[in-house]
Structure 1
């Protein structure tokens, strides 16, 4: 029997998951298919920031910055467990932009943000020794606010909310073929199903143009593939703040606390294929040099403990340099004119911060073609697990209720799951109730949750995207976890 849906979404990155959430909350029947894992590519390879994009002001992209800052405020409130405010230090020594320009830009950044709960920008003070001590010459500069996010978990939370409201999420499932048949799309999936949908959303990210080609569609918008790479090394400085470093080529690089270490990124390298998301030696040297220009502690490529790279599918606006290509998005609706053909909506570009807003606009664009009226359902809606008091208060509650978790594990799990811990740990009263210890503080009850509730299908999904514990496990522990996973779920 052929299953029918209102919308078939192709792509389980942040944009596809956000559109699925918005559409499901609007009462539409939704099927999201993802050929790999949720957030398996670009959406788990970001700089892990919810931010307005301070540097975009230099390219007069005021609309994007204002939109992103409004979304930053919403997201901090909607997912306080996985998104947390962070102070950013912008040193001005050896800067390539004059003092007045940076100060004016920060004033504008604060103003575009409107009423916000995050602290506003200011100049560095003599008392800011925690900020200035790690720097070579750090007495001059600025401090402003943005936020840190667990990017892959944000994608999963969008999918969970969509699923809770009726959407079907099919991971490890590829769109094999699709064709228009009057007012519907007829599609065949890699799991053997034939389905119909009144509309298709192409949210394939770096593969958006490839999918259009397979569907026989010529889009007027284009996509420009740009690789961004990051390196991680032992902690360069103490504290929970980040640094935004200005470089001689007028690019900026972030240094951010990450999993007890320091993350440095990102690069901007044009590439030809999505599969080119692999860091090279030149990028590693570039990022090490960026850090060494600013920090007292000097590093070499030998200090790098891990890396990641992602290919960003930027809308091709004709900019000559990758760093200048807009991070805004374009939604292109194809209906073959007024023929009554089933619509296809393609998503070009976008960023994690604005994915919710993108989803809202996507539904507004496609709703008339479906004969429905869209409602803005997610503007003030908490993400799964996000309905908690201020995080410090919530963490104290978690530790009082489940003291056997211990300090490190309770903090990690409170950040990852928020109020969803009530479901995961229902009836658990001691360590034994957590099940087997699978390494790095990960226990059986949590691993089963990732599989049963979060669509983790292989060990890497659990260790590197649902959690980041794979960064801490030894090779032997990783192998042991893989063996447990195979025995439990694949045998």
Structure 2
């Protein structure tokens, strides 16, 4: 099997599995492996959910998107393999939708998705009927899809139909139930903390470097962070660093090296829409042929996106550029010309990079989730994953546990199920939540407190005084001096203004929003 036998653990520096990456798949794998009896260490260079996990479109979709192409019949009839792949991904989406709804209903927010069908377009109404018929057969019966296709009296059934393009060519509107994941960051935090309660070790703000092979044939890793360097060993390493996965093995992989990951950027804009959009979203194909959505984020905030462009830079630096914003506004106005959106209507933006599988024949990467056993690259005991979306993280964690189990048995008996997580008293307010994030959830900066763990900054821009109060609230726990508080506030404000770039809404824009109401 390629994995050496292990001696008894010597101190705390030896583990069964070291996981590199604290995103949604790394934390899910840590939870599954710890529950199975493996001694696990999870190392994350930044904070939990730092990369793609916190920058997704947040949609928990039913899998229809895998059948959405500009020429569905031609595409699938000409390639049965592509149809089988689409059906497999759609089945996985339906199963993930059902499982996450059952386990975490409080963060799965339902809404009615609408797919307009026009005369002359490549996507026909019967295509959607067939697609949803397949979805019903592929996935669980619950939660229901609530699919129907409205073929007339649109003003009564589709409250925003007045804004749609080409009313004279509108043949029908398909409606069905979808969900928005309210806090993907929180999913990462909860999985990591559950793994820790089961015995896993978390090393955040720690860079893990694979130093080489051990005398036994396992792997030696250097952990650098918070002013210290430590060497640890493990026979199995899970390289779950997302778009950074190729960097993790760059120094140890034999030549020639074929990349693991192709990065594609998805940018979004957020605008305020009038009350008639409440509880609804819109799905379509944009003029480039890729899925395009208008999604409800809460209150009157809606996002349009995503883009689909190649990205070769550092994923941490990904932002919505002026070109991205212009494209998204143009496509939003093509879909909904009645809104007459302008740049001044954009409340904030965000962008993330999808870690898709590299394929020289597919410049935009492979979207099928894959676990890569790197033994065939001369790296036995190292596994990686590509194209693992947030919505399917539960099954991803199980599949990673099974991959490890094929080469290594756990060194311990499965632990007693961990105690429930401690929670601050909801009545205690935001300050208690912030202090709990530091004292019990490993938060070390304001980004980790206000975005990742509490979500207090999500969906709005905080003013400087609010951020100062937050910093002062936790300064005693983190040992921050007044100078440290000022530095932390400056850092948060830069982060907020770059990662969630804001376009100031002028008075005219506010008047236009009110007029659209």
| TM-score class normalised by the smaller sequence | 0.7 to 0.9
2:419 & 2:305 partners in 1: Cα distance?
Answer: 29
Question: In the alignment, is residue 349 of structure 1 matched against residue 387 of structure 2?
Answer: yes
1:205 aligned partner: 242
Q: Are residues 1:371 and 2:409 paired?
A: yes
TM-score, with length taken from structure 1: 0.81
Secondary structure of the structure 2 residue equivalent to 1:293: helix
Hey, what does 1:239 align to over in structure 2?
A: 278
TM-superposed deviation, 1:145: 2.2
Q: Which residues of structure 1 form unaligned runs of 5+?
A: 386-419, 435-441
Query: How much has 1:456 moved relative to structure 2?
Result: 1.9
Alignment of 1:1-20 (within 5 A): 3-20=13-30
How many residue pairs were aligned? 435
Match of 1:448 among 427, 435, 444: 435
1:361 corresponds to which residue?
Answer: 399
Over residues 388-408 of structure 1, what are the superposed CA-to-partner deviations in whole Å (9 max), with x where a residue is unaligned?
xxxxxxxxxxxxxxxxxxxxx
C-alpha change, 1:235 and 1:178, in structure 2 (3 Å) is farther
| 1:469 to partner: Cα distance | 2.4
201-210 or 214-223, which deviates more: 214-223
Instruction: Measure how far apart 1:342 and its partner are.
Output: 5.9
* Matching residue within 117, 141, 159 for 1:130: 159
Take 1:374 and 1:367, find their aligned partners in 2: how far apart are those partners? Answer: 13
Give the deviation of 1:321 after TM superposition.
5.4
Distance 1:207 1:449 in 2: 30
Query: Within 2, Cα distance between the matches of 1:468 and 1:270?
Result: 29
Note the C-alpha offset of 1:228: 0.7
TM-score, length-normalised on structure 2? 0.77
Q: Spell out the pairing of 1:61-460 with structure 2 (5 A cutoff).
A: 61-93=86-118, 95-124=121-150, 126=153, 127-130=156-159, 132-136=161-165, 137=167, 140-149=172-181, 150-181=183-214, 182-191=216-225, 192-217=229-254, 222-236=260-274, 237-260=276-299, 261-275=301-315, 276-295=317-336, 296-320=338-362, 322=364, 325-335=365-375, 343-372=381-410, 423-425=423-425, 434=428, 443-460=430-447
| Secondary structure of 2:359 counterpart | coil
Q: Does 2:66 align with 1:34?
A: no
For the residue of structure 2 that corresponds to 1:81, the secondary structure is helix
Deviation at 1:320, TM superposition (A): 4.1
**Shift in Å, 1:19:** 0.7
Question: Which of 39, 55, 60 is residue 50 of structure 1 equivalent to?
Answer: 60
Q: CA-to-partner distance for each residue in 1:281-340, whole Å, 9 max, x for gaps?
A: 111011111221222222112211111111111012345453xx4321221223479x9x
Distance in 1 (alpha carbons) for counterparts of 2:163 and 2:136: 26
Do the aligned residues in 1 keep the contact of 2:184 with 2:390 (CA within 8 Å)? Answer: yes
CA separation of 1:333/1:9 partners in 2, compared to 1, >3 Å: closer, same or farther? Answer: same
Match of 1:413 in 2: none
Kept after mapping to 1: 8 A contact 2:294/2:304: yes
Distance 1:73 1:463 in 2: 29
- Tell me how far apart the structure 2 counterparts of residues 374 and 355 of structure 1 sit (CA, whole Å): 24
TM-superposed CA distance for 1:128, in Å, is 1.4
Offset of residue 133 of structure 1: 4.9
Select which of 457, 471, 474 maps to 2:463: 474
| Residues 155, 227 of structure 1: alpha-carbon distance in 2 compared, 3 angstrom cutoff | same
- Would you say the 8 A contact 1:226–1:269 is kept in 2? yes
User: Computing the radius of gyration over CA atoms, which structure comes out larger, 1 or 2?
Assistant: 2
Check 1:113–1:168 CA distance in 2 against 1; reply closer, same or farther (3 A cut).
same
Call closer, same or farther: CA 1:179–1:196 in 2, change over 3 Å: same
CA distance in 2, matches of 1:448, 1:291: 40
